Amino acid sequence: MQRKQRLSRNTAYFIPYMLWILLFVIAPVLLLIYQSFFNIDGQFTFANYQTYFSSNTYLMMTLNSVWYAFLITLATLLISYPTAYVLNETKYPQLWLLLIIMPTWINLLLKAYAFIGIFSQSGIANQFLSFIGIGPQQLLFTNFSFIFVAAYIQIPFMVLPIYNSISELNPSYVNASRDLGATNWQTFSRVIFPLTLPGVKAGIQAVFIPSLSLFMLTRLIGGNKVITLGTAIEEHFLTTMNWGMGSTIGVVLIIAMVIIMMLTSGGKRRTRKGMTK
């Protein structure tokens, strides 16, 4: 008690961090909200929000973005959960984990660039399709390629939290479940999966939000067929210079983010409380 009082008396060291919170966390968000009430000519207006919520284009774009983020998250989850599960049962899980995470250290842009080559008209993917007799297809600039590359990029971010929650799982729960007569599938669905749900939720959080806002992939891989919220923001800020509208979409994206966080963290807290000794 006394130690805490003594240390907190000297708070000068805390100033840079507090300044950071003030200038780079709070101020930018407030400025973004503020900016969303101005039109392209710098006049105060609610028109951005009116336009957004009354225009089919914007609403369809939002729905589309959410839909694609959902597909990307689903694809990532379906690949990552078994990966994390198998990972946990290998002899050297830490080494495998490192190998899975390593690709995230390669610049995102380079990975996207690689797929431009792989999916191109006469690229290796089409050479393979020709080889097995399907014949070359338009791969680059399709929705499929967009989802494929996005999922590819996100897999490590999904594997990591799921692996953590699986490896933390006390093996005696599994033994207890088997002991009480559960089959392997019952053990998985009634014991293992519910107990690793916090990891799954953390993974969804880590994948879904960025998937809503990926903009360089939509350009490089998706060929602008899919317009995500992120693409729209980038366009308004850097191309049409309509910062007001861009900020409005930004506010929508922030709200979507908050909703997802609430959906995924509420449950997490409950289970975490249940799991601590």
Partner 1 sequence: MAVNTQPIVRLNHVCKSYGDHQILKDINLELEAGKFYTLLGPSGCGKTTILRTIAGFTAVTSGEVEFDGKVINGLPANQRQVNTVFQDYALFPHMNVAENVAFGLKLHKVSKDEIDQRVQDALAMVQLADFGDREISEISGGQQQRVAIARALVMRPKVLLLDEPLSALDAKLRKDMQYELRDLQQRLGITFLFVTHDQEEALAMSDEIFVMNDGAILQGGSPVDIYDEPINHFVANFIGESNIIPGKMLKDFEVEFVGKAFECADGGMRPNEAVEVVLRPEDLDIVAANQGKLVVTVDSQLFRGNYFEIVAYDSDHNEWLVHSTNPADEGEPIGLTFDPQDIHVMRLNESEAAFDARLEQYEDD
Partner 2 sequence: MSLRNFKWRNLYLWLVFIVLYAPIIFLIVYSFSKGDTMNNFHGFTWSHYQDLFADSRLIAIFLDTLLVALLSSILATVIGTLGALGINNTTKAITKNTLLSLNNILMVSPDVIIGASFLIFFTALKIPLGFGSVLLSHIAFSIPIVVLMVLPKIQEMSSSLLDAAADLGANNWQLLSQVIVPYIMPGIFSGFFMALTYSLDDFAVTFFVTGNGFTTLSVEIYSRARQGINLEINALSGLMFLMALILVVGYYFINQYSRKHRRTATRGRRK
Residues that bind partner 1 (CB under 8 A): 1-3, 5-6
User: According to CB under 8 A, which one of 58, 68, 81, 96 is a site residue for partner 2?
Assistant: 96
| Least Å from the CB of residue 113 to partner 2 | 5
The answer to whether residue 220 forms part of the interface with partner 2 (CB under 8 A) is yes
Residue 53 interacts, among partner 2, partner 1, none and using kind-specific CB cut-offs from 5 to 8 Å, with none
Residue 24 interacts, among partner 1, partner 2, none and using kind-specific CB cut-offs from 5 to 8 Å, with partner 2
Applying the rule CB under 8 A, the residues between 103 and 142 that interact with partner 2 are 103-118, 120, 122-124, 127
- CA atoms within 13 Å, Cβ hemisphere of 140: 18
Residue 90 interacts, among partner 2, partner 1, none and using kind-specific CB cut-offs from 5 to 8 Å, with partner 2
Report the DSSP beta bridge partners of residue 44.
Answer: 38
Whole-Å CA distances, 154 to 78, 101, 233 = 12, 10, 21
| Least Å from the CB of residue 225 to partner 2 | 16
| Least Å from the CB of residue 273 to partner 1 | 24
Sign of CA dihedral 71, 192, 273, 90: negative
Question: Any alpha helices (H) in the chain, and if so which ranges?
Answer: 2-9, 15-20, 27-35, 47-54, 56-89, 93-101, 108-118, 124-131, 143-168, 171-179, 184-186, 193-213, 216-220, 229-234, 243-275
CA distance 247 to 94: 42
Applying the rule CB under 8 A, the residues between 35 and 94 that interact with partner 2 are 35, 79, 82-83, 86-87, 89-90
- Best CA proximity match to 150, nearest among 221, 230, 250: 221
| Least Å from the CB of residue 35 to partner 2 | 5
Residue closer to partner 1 (CB basis): 3 or 273: 3
